[in-house]
Structures are given as structure tokens and as C-alpha cells.
Chain A
Amino acid sequence: MTVGLDVQRLMNNARIRLPGATDDAIQYALFTVMDDFFKGSNTWQEDVDVFVPGGDPAGTVYQLVTETSSTIDKLMWVFQKSTSPNFMRGPSISASMSTPGELVLTTQPSSDITYTATLSLTVQDPTTRDGYVQFPAWVLAKYRNVILDGLVGSMMSQPSKPFSNTTLSVFHMRKFNSKVAAARVEMMRNNTFRQQAWRFPSFSSGSQRGNSGWGGPV
């Protein structure tokens, strides 16, 4: 299997900074780093449509299944699926996901309705046959230096290895953590420059009926 140029660049950068580290060990650490990155930044999101029949009892659990090979981490928000071609989505609704993948609505609808749940995802096994963890390619292209910092810092924190280096590990992990926080903010703003991370609540521009809670970026 061919490994992409961006992955080769990441691996080469890691190899240069980690004398004595094997590719297997780097790939193993990469899985953990990507898990930390996605859980901290929420950059990997997927919309899942959920059909809810009217009349289901309160507390009904709806299973959320993603299309990608991934693990569900968080429920970001749930919106009613838009029926209009002019709007991306309908009003937001209140829901929870105590167990990842199990959606529970606060209020059951009285008629059939389709909701769109936005999920934050993280990596999962299996990796590719080459041992590389799978995640969207754009993440590596956009955050290559963040991932490299996490990878190098994580490897350098291992004890009694040729590449062990406590000082540099702390340095790289600090950079990684701060960049993960920055990535989280970027994602909240939909990667749009100077977009505010908040919006006026829905009651300020229309009806006060129904749920008016914050429902994620507009």
C-alpha cells in the first residue's frame, strides 16, 4: 500500500528527531497522539441523520452510527433536519449521549421527524495494513506541525530510550497542547477568520417558543 507524501513527511520528520526509534513504535505513538488531538480539538466531526418516529416514549435510545472508521467521542449538537432548500438546518433541540453512540432526546416529538446529530470523532483500530492510523487527510495537511510536536513529545517522554529527552518532551508537549486548544477554537469558528464563536440566541431574532439553547457554530 502506498503511503501518502504527507504521511511520509511526518514520519521522516519524526525519524530525524527520534534517533533509535523504530517505525512501528512511531506509528504506535501516532495513534495515541491523534486520539489526544481529536478529543481535545473536536476537529473531526460527522453529521448523522436520526429518524425519530412520533410517539416514542421518553428516554428512547437512538443508535448513532458513523460512516467512517472512527470512535464516537462527543455529541456536539442536534438540529432538526431542514426541510427547506434555503436553510442548512432547522431549530436546535436538546439531547444527550451518556454512552457514546446512544442518543437520548430531552423531549420526544409527537410526529415523525429527522434530526441531524453532529458528532465529534476520534481514531479507532484497526489501523491500515501498513500500521498507520486512519483519519481525514485534511487534518494532517492543516495540523502537520501540531501532530509532529505531539508525536515527538510523546516519544521523548518514554524512559530509557535513545530518544528520551525530558526537557524537549515538555517543550514539544506544551506546544502540542496549546496548538490543540487553538485548533479547538478554530473548529468552533468553522475555520473562518474573525468569525465570532457565539451567535445571538434564537429568541432575539424570532420566536421564543421551543428550545433556544446554544447549538454550536452557525
Chain B
Amino acid sequence: MTAATERLLPWIAIVNFALVAAVLVVLGRLATARTLTDVPDGRQNTAELVLDWFVDLSRRIHPGSVLLVAPFLATLFLLILFSNLLAILPIPLLRIPPTAYFSVPLGLALVSVLGVIALKAKIDGVRAALKHIVWPNPLQLVGEATHTLSLSLRLYGNIGGEYLVAVLAAQAAPWGIPMVIHSLGLIPATVQPIVFTLLTADFLAASAVGAGARHDNGPVARVPAPAHGNGVAVTEVR
């Protein structure tokens, strides 16, 4: 990494992140542009394949608000995944993953933590969300700050550390070795978005979303959660 690249790193991170977001918006438009059919084919099948896991995850958190929770989780997952996968592009400046610059993971973690509070406020009302922050103990606030720190440091440590190792290896041995390190880096690049999304979903579930202020005046919160995914409860009953 030259000195000029190092100086311009914030701008490179911003531009790359914006590019990833733009590409995702275009892909999302393309995948869902047509009217949806009952028997999916081609593009619709791909879109449903991508979204299925998030719909399942958010249904487990709160069956009544899948439409609110699933897009949030899916956006976080796809943004982080595509940002990490920029590292395998063979284009000089574009291959710097924005998540390897600490401000981007910090922003994503802030979005995650604040988004959990906002979703709680949207589903259960503002009072329940505020109560969740300070009750049973005002130390919950420290917990929220720690969540932000741990989420951002985890993402940055994995992707930035891998990128640093790749850069150092490329300086020491320009041929062959960086390819091995890049292919090993594919593992954290795909696992970290899953972990980030799962932890956000866990924070959302831990904030007892759907069990707050509106619990008594609507049937929404009383819908029983379905048997988890692959019919464990059914097999146990048999």
C-alpha cells in the first residue's frame, strides 16, 4: 500500500461502500422489477432464495412483524457480504474492502444497535423501547455501547486483519502466496456477515420485541411461534 493510498483510505472506503450500495440497489430492482408469480422462476427464485433465511429468522423473533425485521437484517447482511467480497476483485483501488477501514464497521454497528431500538419502538411503542434501555438497570446503556464496540471490532478485526496480512504477504512475496491468503480470507468474508446478522437478530430477540406495551390489545403478539424450521417439535410429538 503506497503512502498516497493510505492517505486517501477514508475516501476509498466511502466510494467503495457507496458503489456496493448502488450495485445492491440495482440488483434488488432487477430481481423484483416484474410482477411476482406463484411459481417462481429465474430471478424471482434467486431473490426468494436470498430472502428466505431472513424471513425465517425474523419469524422466529416475532411472527407479527416480519415485514419490518427481515428487510433490516437482509440489508445489513448483503451490504457487509458484498463489501467483504470486494477484496477478491482484481481491480487496483476497488479491491480495498470498505469494512477494512474501522469507521465503516463502526457505522454499521451503530446502525445495528440503534436500529434494534428503533424497531422495538416501532413495534412496541416508544415507551417500551425507552424502558428497555433503562430497565431493569441503567447499566443496559453500557451494554448497548459494548454491543456497538464488540460488533464493530469483530467485523473490523476479521476483515481488516485479513487484508493487512494479505498486504504484508504481497510485499514479501508478490506471486502465489497472496492468492492462498485471499482464498482463505473468503471464509471470514462469508462467515462475518452471518455472525453480524445473527447477533443483531439476537439483540432484537433479547429486547423482547413484541412482548411490550401492545401485548394486551392485539392478537399479533399471541400468535404462537412455528416449530423451528425443520419440524423438531413434530418429530418429538410423534
Do the two chains belong together in a single complex?
no
